[in-house]
C-alpha cells in the first residue's frame, strides 16, 4: 500500500510485484487477490499499463477474492474499473456501489463512482461522490486527492461551468503535476473560455510530461 499510494508508475510496479508474491505464497488470502486486481486495473486506467492487457487476470483475481471472502471490497472496485474501461457504466455503478455497501468509508470507491457518473453525464450526482471522498481523507496532502479534485473539475466542465472547472483543475495539477488529468481539463476549460494563449502554455507543460501525447493539428 505504501508503494501504491505514491502514485508513480515505478512505485505501482513495485506494489504489483509484492502483491504477486503475496498471492503466490498465500493463495487463500482474499485481500491480496482483491488489491492486486484493483492495482492492475488502476494502472491501466491511469495509463501506466497498456489498456486491456491485464483484463482477464484482473477479472480472475477479483472473482477469486470474492470466492474467498464475499465482502472483499477491493475486488468490487477492480470489477468497477474493468467496467469503466469497457464503457459499461451501469455495471461500473453497481460494482462501486457494492464496494461502498461493504465499506462506506472507502474513499477511492466514492471517487471512482464519481468519475463513472461524470462519464455518464450525471455531473451533479458526481459532485456529491467527490465531496464524500474528500471528506473521508484526513490529509489534504494525500496524493489520491488529485483524482477527487480533477473529478470535480470534470463535472463542472461537462456542465459547461468552465471557470469552476479551471479553479478545481488548477488545484488538481498543483497537488500532483505528474498525473495529467487535472492539467488536461485545465487546458480544455481555458480553451472553452477563449483563453487560448494560456491553454497553449498548459499544452506545453503537458508535452514536457508526456512527449508522445497526441498534438492538436491545424
For the chain, how big is the Rg over CA atoms in Å? 18
Is the distance from CB of 34 to CB of 42 less than 8 angstroms? Answer: no
Q: Architecture of 1-104 per CATH? A: Alpha Horseshoe (1.25)
Q: Report the percentage of the chain scoring pLDDT > 70.
A: 95
**Predicted confidence (pLDDT) per residue in 101-132, tens digit:** 999 999 999 999 999 999 999 999 999 999 99
Q: Which three cell numbers stand for residue 209?
A: 510530461
**pLDDT, the chain, mean:** 91
Name which residue leads in pLDDT, 106 or 211: 106
pLDDT above 50: residue 218: no
* Dihedral angle computed from the Cα positions of residues 185, 163, 129 and 91, in that order, rounded to the nearest 10 degrees: -40
The enclosing H or E element of 153 equals helix 145-158
pLDDT at 215: 46
User: pLDDT value at position 25?
Assistant: 97
Confidence of residue 149 (pLDDT cuts 50, 70, 90): very high
- Report pLDDT for 119: 93
Amino acid at each position: 500500500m505504501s508503494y501504491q499510494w505514491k502514485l508513480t508508475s515505478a512505485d505501482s510496479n513495485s506494489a504489483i510485484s509484492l502483491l504477486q508474491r503475496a498471492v503466490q505464497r498465500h493463495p487463500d488470502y482474499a485481500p491480496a487477490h482483491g488489491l492486486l486486481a484493483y492495482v492492475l486495473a488502476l494502472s491501466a486506467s491511469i495509463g501506466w499499463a497498456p489498456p486491456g492487457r491485464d483484463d482477464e487476470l484482473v477479472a480472475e483475481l477479483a472473482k477469486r477474492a470474492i470466492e474467498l471472502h464475499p465482502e472483499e471490497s477491493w475486488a468490487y472496485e477492480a470489477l468497477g474499473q474493468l467496467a469503466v474501461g469497457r464503457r459499461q457504466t451501469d455495471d461500473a455503478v453497481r460494482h462501486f456501489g457494492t464496494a461502498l455497501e461493504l465499506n462506506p468509508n472507502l474513499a477511492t470507491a466514492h471517487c471512482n463512482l464519481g468519475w463513472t457518473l461524470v462519464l455518464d453525464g450525471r455531473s451533479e450526482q458526481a459532485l456529491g461522490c467527490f465531496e464524500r471522498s474528500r471528506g473521508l481523507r484526513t490529509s489534504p496532502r494525500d496524493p489520491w486527492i488529485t483524482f477527487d479534485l480533477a473529478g470535480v473539475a470534470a463535472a463542472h466542465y461537462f456542465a459547461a461551468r468552465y471557470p469552476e472547472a479551471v479553479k478545481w483543475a488548477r488545484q488538481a495539477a498543483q497537488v500532483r503535476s505528474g498525473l495529467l488529468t487535472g492539467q488536461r481539463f485545465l487546458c480544455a476549460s481555458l480553451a472553452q473560455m477563449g483563453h487560448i494563449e494560456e491553454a497553449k502554455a498548459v499544452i506545453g507543460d503537458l508535452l514536457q510530461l508526456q512527449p508522445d501525447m497526441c498534438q492538436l493539428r491545424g
